[in-house]
Structure 1
Amino acid sequence: MGTAIKYAFIAVLAALTFCVQTSPSSASSLLWQVKSNHPNILEIEFYSDTRRGHSWPGNNEIYLLDDYSTKTVNISCHHGELICYGAWVRNRTGIYWGIGFKYSQSCSDCCYTCNGGHTKLIILNP
C-alpha cells in the first residue's frame, strides 16, 4: 500500500473513531443522590424518557430507600438521554414522588440529562 493511501486510511479511521465516541448514543452515566425523610420504606426506579420501556435497575427490580441516609445510584445511560425518577411508598403506589410507579404520573422537575454528571440531592418528604 502506498504512503498516501496509508495516511488517507488512517485519517478515515480517526474520523470514524471520533464520530463513534461523540455520538448521542455513546455510553455515559448519571449519578443520582436521593434521601427519604418518609417514615415508611420507599421504592424507587429510574426510567428513560428517551427509550420508553427502559428502566434501572430493570428486570422487575427496584431500589429501596429504607433509612434516612442519602443513597447514591450510578446508572449507565446513553449520553443526552433524559432519565426520570419515580418513587412510592412500598406496597402503596398511590403515594408517590416524581413520575411514580411504572412511569404512571407526570412531573415538572424529576428528570435529568445523562451527561456523566450527577443530580442535585433529591429529598423525598412525607
Structure 2
Amino acid sequence: MMIRGSCLCGDVAFELSGKPHSLSYCHCSRCRKSEGVFAAVLIGSAEDFTLVRGADKITRLEPVAPWTHARAFCRTCGSALGEMQAGKIYVVAASALDDDPGLRPTAHLNIASKPAWYEIEDDLKKFEGNYVPA
C-alpha cells in the first residue's frame, strides 16, 4: 500500500507505505489555528514515511511548553503538513493526502480545547486530551 501526499503548490511531496495506525480529528488550539476548526491527522510508523521532495521548502514551528508537537508547513504555499516525522511515528495532515488512506476517522482528540461554538455531532470516540494509538 502506498499513500501519496503533497502541498498545494506541489513543492513538498511525501509517501506513506504500510497501513496507518489511525485517522483522527484534533481540536487543540494549535491545530485549529493552522487548519481551521480542527485538523484531520493521519498517524503511522515513522519507518513508513518518506519525504520525496521539498525538504528545503518545509518550515517547522517547534513547540514551546506545554505543547509537544511541531507544526510543519510549506513555506511557498502555506499548506499545513502536520508534524511530519516525530520519533517513532509520523503525524501528517490528512488535508495533504493525494490518495485515500484506506481508513476513516475514529476519534476526536483534545476536545477540551475545541471552540464552544463548535458542536461534535457524531459518535466517534472523544478524548479530552491527546491520545496516540499504539
Of Structure 1 and Structure 2, the greater strand share is in 1
Larger radius of gyration: 1
Same fold (TM over 0.5): no
Of Structure 1 and Structure 2, the greater helix share is in 1
Q: TM-score, normalised by structure 2?
A: 0.25
Q: TM-score, normalised by structure 1?
A: 0.26
